[in-house]
Amino acid sequence: MKNFEKLLLQNKAWAAENTANDPNYFKRSAHIQTPEFLWIGCSDSRVPANDVTGTEPGEIFVHRNIANLVVHTDLNLLSVLQYAVQVLKVQHIIVCGHYGCGGIKAAMTNKELGLINKWLRNIKDIYRFHRDELDAIEDYEKRADRLVELNVVDQVMNLAKTSIVQHAWKEENRPTLHGWVYEMHSGLLNPVSMLQPGDFIDPLYRYDI
């Protein structure tokens, strides 16, 4: 059997098991999705949003990219954000990074990686803003993991800088923004930042909303 055929076979088993446990399982989720959460995570295959949060299909709206970045010119991210906030009316947005992130580590090198360097530039800027703190950490893995945390904090702030979030904060007093970091060795999520509607953001980034 080819490796991709295994996926289709496992899908049949998964569908059968769910239907056996609950005959209406798929009928229910096919009708409506009302997730309360938007997840912005890393594309890394080891950090699946539903699995690590113990949630079912229908509970989390998901966007993933390399190193879980919120980039203001990324039409994909902005479209997901707008739909989640304005149509699905999510209550919480979670930016979730993970320790040992390859994207973060790549941004700490001088390797010429082609197109992806342009994406990782965003992380280099975060390193530059925190250069003193990061350079003072001797252990390479610990320094990379601290950058993972600082990156998540910055991406949460990037969400608050969007007019999409600022409109929702003003008009509907939601969503709450969370920054979490997933720890692969333990499987645990480490909350590192949180912003609630009305929390302080640099006036330079506030719109007249």
With contacts defined by CB under 5 A, name the span among 13-21, 23-31, 52-60, 94-102 that binds Co ion.
94-102
Residue 101 binds to Co ion (criterion: CB under 5 A): yes
Residue 44 binds to Co ion (criterion: CB under 5 A): yes
> Quick check: is 42 catalytic?
yes
Footprint of Co ion on residues 106-125 (CB under 5 A)? Answer: none
Is 58 buried (19+), middle (13-18) or exposed (0-12) by CB count in 10 A? middle
Q: Which of 63, 98, 143, 178 is labelled catalytic?
A: 98
Q: Where are the beta strands (DSSP E) in the chain?
A: 37-42, 60-65, 92-98, 176-183, 188-195
Residue with Cβ nearer Co ion (123 or 168): 123
Angle at 149 between CA 190 and CA 125, to 5 degrees: 165
- Length of the chain as a residue count: 209
- Angle subtended by helix axes 75-82 and 163-172, to nearest 10: 10
With contacts defined by CB under 5 A, name the span among 4-12, 42-50, 167-175, 184-192 that binds Co ion.
42-50
* Minimal distance, residue 59 CB to Co ion, in Å: 22
Tokens of 187: 């499987």
Residue with Cβ nearer Co ion (97 or 175): 97
> Annotated catalytic sites, by residue?
42, 44, 46, 98, 101
Which positions lie near Co ion, rule CB under 5 A?
42, 44, 101, 103
